[in-house]
Amino acid sequence: MTIRVGIVNDLAIAAEVLCKIVQRDPGMSVLWLARDGHEAIARCATALPDIVLMDLIMPQLNGVEATRQIMRATPCPILVVTATVAGNIPMVYDAMGAGAMDVTTTPVIGDQRALDSGQVLRRKIHTLCSSVRAALPRSDNGPTATAKRPGAPAPSARVPPVLAVGASTGGPGALATILGALPPDFPAAVVVVQHIDDAFVAGLADWLGSSTRLPVALAGHGQRLRPGQVLVADAGAHLTLGPAGFLHQVEAPADALHRPSVDVFFASLAQHGPAGSAALLLTGMGCDGAAGLLAVRKAGFPTFVQDQTSAVVYGMPGAALALGAAAGVLPLDHIAAHFIALFKPSPTPCSQ
């Protein structure tokens, strides 16, 4: 099956390079070429490609806003292709928050021109399109966990409750909104599993840290949970929660579609989560996290998904709802307040 590619770039030389790279692959074809964001939106409305290669800096309408409008009107995989990633970091994460799935530099004329002849771009196109095709609801029930009694005591009084958050397409923007509204004395440890290329996960942690009063860092092997800290799962391995609030990076399952997998972390939360923990599944393509969220709910913890109106892509939350994994559905602008109330310490009874 030929991958139909839409190319959005206002520079004639860059557009020509991208067209040639796509046309050199017998499994791809150029469906159309747009010179700015407005034209890209119109093109998607009349001829939806299998993937859009989206520039960031363009006249009239930039790549961030074009991505946002395409994902609202005619959702499809979007790969940001920009002359320099390092020079456009804020826009890169804004675009990913708007629904872009990945980012790379423009071959030949970009900041990787000495190393990249177009093979990296072709590989990313094939990988993203394959992941979209593979992101279909599974027939099995996925990860399971032995049910535990709701309110079971934590392994240690020093281990805080966990707010586990899974996200994919559109996740960075949703995460920034939620974390930005949490107070500096938030009593739970926040663990985020976001699907993102391993080249950008550290930058994501830094970017999220600029939007919240809570400390944000990458989760490390053997790290222990702390209240009020946000830990972002690193790419290249799965993240799990073990006894006594320690985090672990593991290789299995090796055949998981996503690494790190939301399902894997949620399943470990169901097994080892401290009392008072909760899980949240945000916007994302596919179904990763749905089965894991069901395991968390069966273990007696509160589970929630983002609502369809505020989600960029409703695949993951919708799959969780279909499984009966979510106890509640929350609009994005209500999520932080909901968890502030949920994790509010109970008042100590007055002595008589």
Residues identified as active-site: 168, 195, 288
> Six-digit token pair at 168?
């994919």
What's the rounded Cα separation, in Å, for the pair 84 and 340? 39
What's the rounded Cα separation, in Å, for the pair 195 and 261? 8
What's the rounded Cα separation, in Å, for the pair 73 and 80? 18
What's the rounded Cα separation, in Å, for the pair 338 and 63? 33
3-state DSSP: the chain helix, strand, coil percent, rounded to 5?
Answer: 35, 20, 45
DSSP character at residue 224: B
User: Which residue(s) pair with 240 in the sheet?
Assistant: 248
Mode of pairing for the β-strands spanning 189-194 and 216-218: unpaired
Give yes or no for a contact between 260 and 291, defined as CB atoms under 8 angstroms apart.
Answer: no
- Region of 170 (left: φ > 0; alpha: ψ -120 to 50; beta: rest) is left
